[in-house]
Structure 1
Amino acid sequence: MAGHHAKDDDTVESCGLMTEYHQTCYARAGKGKRLWKKVKYQLVEYHSLPAYLKDNEYILGHYRSEWPLKQALLSIFSIHNETLNVWTHLIGFFLFLALTVYTAMQVPKVDLHSLQHFHGIMKKADLHKLQEELLKCLPSLPSMDMLPSLPSWHVKELLYNCLPERFSSGNHTDNCVLHSVKEDLANIIAPLMMRPITRWPFFAFLGGAMFCLLASSVCHLLSCHSERMAYIMLRLDYAGIAALISTSFYPPVYYSFMCNPFFCNLYLASITVLGIATILFSLLPVFQNPEFRTIRASLFFGMGVSGVAPILHKLYLFWGEPEVFYTTGYEVLMGALYGVGALVYATRIPERWKPGKFDIAGHSHQLFHILVVAGAYTHYRAGLVYLRWRDLRGC
């Protein structure tokens, strides 16, 4: 043993004396360490994955498996089979964040296009005289502080009764203000004297959309770290989907039935309870298994289909109003986009047709993400119509 240690000491000493050899030793050690890191964080194939990461048997390669948290975070800038899953919803999150800021900064503006309807009649009237008549009548109206709390129909009625029947033009009074002109004027002036309708249902939807998109991105980025992390992230992802679907009901239900508190509360409570129940069910470990993929898609699809009842009810109550048809068209398109997305997700199209060909780009989950963002943006457009409609119409 003593001779063995002496031999080792001689080797170390000689290596220390031979500077060139010493540098070569360290160079080889550094190269080996870097090579080990590359091998350690190498992308692997489906058959090499632990059971908890095996979800789609038609995506054959480019998987990250049990990477350290730091490496998983940095992989957002590298190419693997989750790259586009992360970025499709991360970009969607920033899109809806910008839309939220934009919507919050916009002061509601009254649409004055209807002025063109009777511009030809009004241009012959003495508009200065009309202003004087209206100002004389305003003191008889309720306090200006009380106007925002009054129903819009009541404000319109007060203004209609206040507007004069005739205008003076020179020495004659033959320019009669028609009934329809007075009604149009009241419809335009009334919203200017009232506060805009509450925005919380619209911002609840925007918040739900942002939570869903961000949770999805984080889930796809970090689930490769460990089984425990994958369990937490998938529950967060399912909660985000349920939140998006639930809050999507808030604007159409609230703004359609705000003048019918019973139905408004009934529909809002029903979708909220359904969303919470879906989140609780998604916490069950068995919900994560691949064989329950169709059940997962069907459950979320069922939440979306439950919106048919309030839409049909809205059409019955407001049939003939243009805004109702516009919003319903947007909602049908949104439902179609979500439905197709759920179908693509459940059937694993197109990778099931050519396994391994869509590992990086074009597989079903990426298409599902794109359709979700498109559906949410369609619903945002419908929400803008609801806001404008209720700002002008009131109850």
Structure 2
Amino acid sequence: MINTYYKSSILSSDKTFDDVFDCEDGEKSCLKETQEDFKKVKCELVRYHSLPGYMKDNEYILGYYRSEWPLKRIFLSIFTIHNETLNVWTHLIGFFLFLFLTIYTATKVPGVVDLNSLQRARDMLRKADWHKIQEELLNCIPSLSNIPDHHKVLDVIKQMSLPSVDFLTSISACLKDDVMMTADPLNKVHAITRWPFFTFLGGAMFCLLASSACHLFSCHSQRLSYIMLRVDYAGIAALISTSFYPPIYYSFMCYPSLCKLYLGSITVLGFAAMIISLLPVFQKPKFRVYRTSLFFGMGLSGVAPIIHKLILFKGQPEALQTTFYEILMGVLYGLGAVIYAARIPERWKPGKFDIAGHSHQLFHVLVVAGAVTHYRAGLIYLRWRDMNGC
């Protein structure tokens, strides 16, 4: 029932009872923000059947809904318990995870020790006074007569000379696991460009942040819900399209024509998907088939470059390793989509998974896991190209 406070507020204004959602005993929803005297109201969680039509999405989640709350209350609800809490936090934590990975990639890849340091060390060795070093080593050894085979030790010290290029090259090979740079054994040091990798990281962060904002603010009003859903779809398109940048660029960087062809195709598809997601005209039912086909085409567009990569680099272990991670990423994304579409597990026990464990939360976790898997594949691409070039 609507309490006396609400009744007196309505009677003292131009509002009618149509502006209040009817709820069962113990349930109240927020009044619509259309007048100043309606702002200070108590917001409580409601059940599925009390929701306005645009908020009814999953009939197996029965309770703990926020319905048309003021924006300030919605923002503060990020720290309270409702059926969207974990939907918000699973992708918000994912956003901060990828923000950390972006900073880590920019500052720690390549590592603290790189081949520029090796180049400087080699120059210092060339300029060293080796006769003086020999004398210092002899002076540092107080009693060679007590050392077995001390004559051999003296011979080794006396025969010390400038390290060869082969020696320095072998050091480079030893540093292979920790160094993310490519060096010509003589003079040149090359750093492979990172922009395709950072493009993927940016797309992942945009997708995860847009998803969190959508789940947090969509309960405010029908208009804001529509806007946030469009932004969420645009984020999905951005994640899918930018995910192809590292594998395409680093696989075909030595084949400029192929690289431009594949990158251009996925870029066009990505922009088209984002435009279709954002513009209201494309949300009409007659465009549903085109929207579905476009997103499906984006996913399939990654099959051709992967197969082409395996043909070109069938003898390279990195090609197989990255393909494994890419397949695993696809499996995680696909499994999440199936769980989300099938409404598992809440369809088996409606109301039991309202707070935690419902399909959308599992979908979010699998999306983050798939994106992290793709990040791991990206590191392999960087290591491969940095160490071998074309």
Length-normalised TM-score, structure 1: 0.70
> In structure 2, which of residues 266, 272, 276 is the aligned counterpart of residue 277 of structure 1?
272
- Distance in 2 between the 1:340 and 1:288 partners? 26
Q: Structure 1 residues 180-189 or 367-376, which shifts more?
A: 180-189
Matches within 5 A, 1:166-205: 189-190=183-184, 193-205=188-200
Unaligned runs of 5+ in 1: 1-27, 113-127, 134-168
Letter of the structure 2 residue corresponding to residue 332 of structure 1: I
- Distance in 1 between the 2:290 and 2:46 partners? 29
Letter of the structure 1 residue corresponding to residue 221 of structure 2: S
Q: What's 1:120 paired with?
A: none
> In structure 1, which of residues 378, 383, 391 is the aligned counterpart of residue 386 of structure 2?
391
- Distance in 1 between the 2:360 and 2:290 partners? 16
- Distance in 2 between the 1:193 and 1:389 partners? 18
Q: After superposition, what is the alpha-carbon deviation per residue over 1:28-55, rounded to whole angstroms, capped at 9, x for unaligned?
A: 98xx99xx99663121111211111111
- The alpha-carbon deviation at position 283 of structure 1 amounts to 3.6
Q: CA RMSD in A?
A: 4.1
> In structure 2, which of residues 313, 334, 340 is the aligned counterpart of residue 339 of structure 1?
334
Matches within 5 A, 1:97-176: 97-109=99-111
> In structure 1, which of residues 79, 82, 102 is the aligned counterpart of residue 81 of structure 2?
79
Give the conservation status (yes or no) of the 8 Å contact 1:297–1:345. Answer: no
The number of residue pairs the alignment matches comes to: 319
Matches within 5 A, 1:159-308: 189-190=183-184, 193-283=188-278, 300-308=295-303
Q: Tell me the SS of whatever aligns to 1:60.
A: coil
Q: Structure 1 residues 297-306 or 227-236, which shifts more?
A: 297-306
Matches within 5 A, 1:330-369: 330-369=325-364
Give the conservation status (yes or no) of the 8 Å contact 2:29–2:67. Answer: no
Q: Structure 1 residues 271-280 or 65-74, which shifts more?
A: 271-280
Inter-CA distance 227–245: structure 2 relative to 1 (3 Å threshold): same
Q: After superposition, what is the alpha-carbon deviation per residue over 1:248-297, rounded to whole angstroms, capped at 9, x for unaligned?
A: 0000000000011111111111111112222233346597799x999977
Q: Structure 1 residues 65-74 or 270-279, which shifts more?
A: 270-279
- Distance in 2 between the 1:279 and 1:350 partners? 31
Letter of the structure 1 residue corresponding to residue 298 of structure 2: M
Inter-CA distance 355–297: structure 2 relative to 1 (3 Å threshold): farther
Q: Structure 1 residues 37-46 or 320-329, which shifts more?
A: 37-46
Give the conservation status (yes or no) of the 8 Å contact 2:336–2:363. Answer: yes
- Distance in 2 between the 1:281 and 1:89 partners? 23
Q: Tell me the SS of whatever aligns to 1:57.
A: coil
- Distance in 1 between the 2:231 and 2:339 partners? 21
Q: After superposition, what is the alpha-carbon deviation per residue over 1:190-222, rounded to whole angstroms, capped at 9, x for unaligned?
A: 278323100000000000000000000000000
- Distance in 1 between the 2:385 and 2:308 partners? 17
Inter-CA distance 301–347: structure 2 relative to 1 (3 Å threshold): farther
Inter-CA distance 78–186: structure 2 relative to 1 (3 Å threshold): closer
Give the conservation status (yes or no) of the 8 Å contact 1:301–1:342. Answer: no
- Distance in 2 between the 1:327 and 1:48 partners? 49
Q: What's 1:317 paired with?
A: 312
> In structure 2, which of residues 44, 56, 70 is the aligned counterpart of residue 68 of structure 1?
70
- The alpha-carbon deviation at position 223 of structure 1 amounts to 0.3
Is the helix fraction higher in 1 or 2?
Answer: 1
- The alpha-carbon deviation at position 300 of structure 1 amounts to 3.7
Give the conservation status (yes or no) of the 8 Å contact 1:304–1:335. Answer: no
Matches within 5 A, 1:19-98: 40=30, 41-98=43-100
- The alpha-carbon deviation at position 86 of structure 1 amounts to 0.2
Give the conservation status (yes or no) of the 8 Å contact 1:294–1:346. Answer: no
Give the conservation status (yes or no) of the 8 Å contact 2:269–2:294. Answer: no
- Distance in 2 between the 1:64 and 1:294 partners? 32
Letter of the structure 2 residue corresponding to residue 309 of structure 1: A
Give the conservation status (yes or no) of the 8 Å contact 2:28–2:46. Answer: no
Q: Tell me the SS of whatever aligns to 2:244.
A: helix
Q: Tell me the SS of whatever aligns to 2:66.
A: coil
Give the conservation status (yes or no) of the 8 Å contact 1:297–1:346. Answer: no
Q: Structure 1 residues 187-196 or 83-92, which shifts more?
A: 187-196
Spell out structure 1 runs of 4+ moving beyond 3 A. Answer: 36-40, 109-112, 169-172, 180-189, 283-290, 292-302
- Distance in 2 between the 1:346 and 1:39 partners? 29
Q: After superposition, what is the alpha-carbon deviation per residue over 1:294-349, rounded to whole angstroms, capped at 9, x for unaligned?
A: 99777545422321110110010011111111111111111110111111122212
Inter-CA distance 281–226: structure 2 relative to 1 (3 Å threshold): same
- Distance in 2 between the 1:95 and 1:278 partners? 26
Q: Tell me the SS of whatever aligns to 1:62.
A: coil
Inter-CA distance 209–255: structure 2 relative to 1 (3 Å threshold): same
> In structure 2, which of residues 366, 370, 382 is the aligned counterpart of residue 375 of structure 1?
370
- Distance in 2 between the 1:301 and 1:360 partners? 31
Length-normalised TM-score, structure 2: 0.70
- Distance in 1 between the 2:211 and 2:157 partners? 70
Inter-CA distance 190–52: structure 2 relative to 1 (3 Å threshold): same
- The alpha-carbon deviation at position 59 of structure 1 amounts to 1.4
Q: What's 1:124 paired with?
A: none
- Which structure is higher in RCO with an 8 Å CA cutoff and minimum separation 6? 1
Q: After superposition, what is the alpha-carbon deviation per residue over 1:123-161, rounded to whole angstroms, capped at 9, x for unaligned?
A: xxxxx9xx769xxxxxxxxxxxxxxxxxxxxxxxxxxxx
